[in-house]
Amino acid sequence: MSYAQEYQRSLTDPEGFWREKAELLPWFEFPKTILDQDPNGAWRWFRGGKMNSCWLALDRHVEAGRGEQNALIYDSPVTSQIRKYTYSELTERVSRVAGALQGLGVGKGDRVIVYMPMVPEAAIAMLACARLGAIHSVVFGGFAAPELATRIDDAKPKVILSASCGIEFANVIPYQPMVREAILLASHKPEHNVVLQRDQCIAVLDNERDLEWTQWEAKAKSVGCTEVDATDPLYILYTSGTTGKPKGVVRDNGGHAVALNYSMSAIYGVDAGDVFWAASDVGWVVGHSYIVYAPLFKGCTSILFEGKPVRTPDAGVFWRVIEDHKVNCFFVAPTAYRAVKKEDPDCKLQKRYDISSLRYQFVAGERLDPATYHWLRKHLDVPVIDHWWQTETGWSMCANMAGIELMECKPGSPTLPVPGYDLRILDESGREVGPGREGSVVIKEPLPPSAFTTIWGDHDRYIEAYWSKFKGFYLTGDEGYRDEDGYVYIMGRIDDVINVAGHRLSTGQMEEVIANHPAVAECTVVGISDEGKGQVPLGLLLLKDGVNIEDDELERELVQMVRQGVGAFANFKRAVVVKRLPKTRSGKILRQVLRKMIDGEAYVVPSTIDDPGVLPEIEGILRQRSVMGAR
Ligand code: COA
Ligand code: AMP
């Protein structure tokens, strides 16, 4: 079948299309309804289906004779370890951890926070929750204590699963001080904190809620899979929104399994037995979907990599891992390849390795800039495929469908909408725009399986943030256009979300932290372009009257505050004092105009601006402070 036929069918007969895809998976009981709406009006897939996501990922493969195949390969250049787990071994570990969680009173519907570095136990923890029908909420290890506390208060977990430390290049980052501070800050107090001790840093476990992982797991009995409904939640994953409060994206079991299983063959062109590597982190949606669930649903071998593209030990590590584990499909953020390109511009290190197993190179998480695309095309003998997606959908919305029909790749475009996504570009008034014209990228309802069905504990926000601007359309928050051939180009966010090294961050989150500084009267954070990281945040500040503080000292203090309040990965490094901020007459700060001005893009000064003289004034200050011009 051609891409065009597959795509058309998904839109004209969504129920027939997705019934077929659902039939590719074994269910405990096949769904009674393929698509309907819940009492909140949210679209739901596969109601009445009985299943278990952990069983689909593990046990059924063992039962089908795949027990001796590697399910997970942990490759950790930062600890010089490689550990391999067959499907049988992984099933055994997961069943035991599930038993241990059950021993702590965790059952169906209970929440468990997983705050862990890139170790196999992170994936084991997620699958163990799924086994019990418990809801995991993985928090990226780079988040500082206040962010962890916000998530504890929102998800109200019974248990936290954590580790003694993470490792960033050669730096050991102790986790327990952050877990303790977060529990102190949070109003909700989890009953238990299970800590995986790592040789690089042994945590002191003196709190009554602390348990040591190895003993805790060793004492437990293996348990089987709890049957859940397809519409029961599998996980909550917090993501940045317009305000400082993160949104708990809720993903259900059935739609997730069907869509991810389909994506492996249709998008990534892989099959059971293939080796799949997504070099992301389990704390992000890419890690959830393509390190843990999708490769295992499909019966692939998944690589869990605890390292960096460079300096672990060098810019040849990607090629080394591809050779060592015979990777067939590799997925990474463009920022990682920009780091490789900077250290090894002619890709000389690649020549030391045999990467002939590789069939596809996928990239996502941020726009694949044409320069990086051309560099990859020059140095890789395989298709380089940009694809566009979000935490909210859990899988790709636009891609070149390698498993169906490989289309021409156009630099700067993630190609065409994936089956199931009726993508449109709308102008401010909700009218569809023609080729070449930029607008809001939206998806006509219903979203396909795997898309989120609510925001944890806040369905009103789900409606308000995503469904209220254009009736019947899901607002992706991205702007972009389509060309004459329908190819989609994603140009950036229309809201206050920024993308730093493939990490999604809210500028509001940082503004809340900065506003706590006693010298700051008002501030705004904008994402400005950066050669390596795509974007980095820049703070613009108004000081309180009478405050006397050196600009450099204030900048240093604010950098520390954001590191401790949000996390070092936010890369907040510059804060500049200005005299005024550009605002509309109603007081709204013109962030997008500021961003475009700083990035040297064309911008229109809105007629509602309070004082047009503010922009050149800020430009002058930023030039003086070497934010503009020097970049
Ligand atoms: N835990 C604790 N700290 C973390 C962290 C984590 N999981 N991840 C990042 N940080 C810290 C880093 O140690 C660094 O701290 P420092 O300022 O004290 O040096 C800071 O956050 C900034 O990190 P980063 O932006 O990652 O820059 P870097 O120079 O350390 O590394 C790259 C550069 C390119 C190697 C790195 O950004 C990278 O691997 N990017 C790819 C990310 C990715 O895959 N994103 C896609 C998600 S889908
Ligand atoms: P996240 O939810 O963290 O996956 O971030 C999703 C956002 O990252 C999207 O809304 C886009 O702004 C951006 N993004 C992800 N993939 C791409 C891509 N291939 N091209 C352009 N932007 C992307």
The Cα 209–Cα 191 span in angstroms is 6
Q: Is the pLDDT of residue 399 over 80?
A: yes
Q: What are phi and psi of 210, to 5 degrees?
A: -80, 140
Within 10 A of 28 (CB to CB), how many other CB atoms are there?
Answer: 12
Residue 506 makes CB contacts below 8 A (sequence gap 6+) with 240, 241, 242, 243, 244, 246, 496, 497, 498
Residues of the chain above pLDDT 90, percent: 94
The protein residue whose alpha carbon is closest to atom 45 in ligand 1 is 502
Peptide bond into 313 cis (omega under 30): yes
CATH architecture of 84-224: 3-Layer(aba) Sandwich (3.40)
Residue to mutate (ligand 1; options 76, 138, 168; most atoms within 8 A of CB):
168
What's the token pair of residue 249?
Answer: 């994206």
The Cα 478–Cα 492 span in angstroms is 5
The ranges assigned to domains in the chain are 84-224, 497-624
> Residue range 74-98: average pLDDT?
98
CA of 334 to the centre of ligand 1 (A): 14
Q: Is the pLDDT of residue 630 over 80?
A: no
> What pLDDT sits at residue 225?
98
CA of 396 to the centre of ligand 2 (A): 10
- 109-124 b/e with 16+ CB inside 10 Å = b? ebbbbbbbbbbbbbbb
Q: At what angle do helices 253-266 and 14-22 cross, to 10 degrees?
A: 90
CA of 404 to the centre of ligand 2 (A): 23
The Cα 502–Cα 505 span in angstroms is 9
In short, whether 502's Cβ falls inside 6 Å of ligand 1 is yes
The protein residue whose alpha carbon is closest to atom 15 in ligand 2 is 365
> What pLDDT sits at residue 207?
87
Ligand located closest to 238 CA: 2
Give tens-digit pLDDT for 316-332.
999 999 999 999 999 99
Ligand located closest to 117 CA: 1
Q: Is the pLDDT of residue 628 over 90?
A: no
CATH architecture of 497-624: 2-Layer Sandwich (3.30)
Residue 550 makes CB contacts below 8 A (sequence gap 6+) with none
> Residue range 396-410: average pLDDT?
97
Give tens-digit pLDDT for 14-42.
999 999 999 999 999 999 999 999 998 88
Residue to mutate (ligand 2; options 138, 280, 331, 390; most atoms within 8 A of CB):
390
Give tens-digit pLDDT for 571-622.
999 999 999 999 999 888 999 899 999 999 988 888 899 998 999 999 999 9
Give tens-digit pLDDT for 212-232.
999 999 999 999 999 999 999
In short, whether 571's Cβ falls inside 6 Å of ligand 1 is yes
Give tens-digit pLDDT for 79-89.
999 999 999 99
In short, whether 287's Cβ falls inside 6 Å of ligand 2 is no
Bridge partner residues of 229 (DSSP): 50
In short, whether 372's Cβ falls inside 6 Å of ligand 2 is no
CA distances from residue 387 to 284, 333, 334, 417, 483 in whole angstroms, order as listed = 16, 10, 11, 10, 16
Nearest ligand 2 atom to alpha carbon 286: 4
Ligand located closest to 367 CA: 2
Do 51 and 28 meet the contact criterion of CB atoms below 8 Å apart? yes
> Residue range 425-443: average pLDDT?
97
Nearest ligand 1 atom to alpha carbon 173: 2
Mean pLDDT of all residues belonging to the chain = 96
Alpha-carbon torsion (4, 407, 485, 394), positive or negative: positive
CA of 223 to the centre of ligand 1 (A): 37
Give tens-digit pLDDT for 257-288.
999 999 999 999 999 999 999 999 999 999 99
Give tens-digit pLDDT for 124-181.
999 999 999 999 999 999 999 999 999 999 999 999 999 999 999 989 999 999 999 9
The protein residue whose alpha carbon is closest to atom 9 in ligand 2 is 390
> What pLDDT sits at residue 629?
64
Residue to mutate (ligand 2; options 373, 388, 418; most atoms within 8 A of CB):
388
Give tens-digit pLDDT for 337-349.
999 999 999 999 9
Residue to mutate (ligand 1; options 569, 571, 572; most atoms within 8 A of CB):
569
In short, whether 416's Cβ falls inside 6 Å of ligand 2 is no
Ligand located closest to 241 CA: 2
> Residue range 59-71: average pLDDT?
98
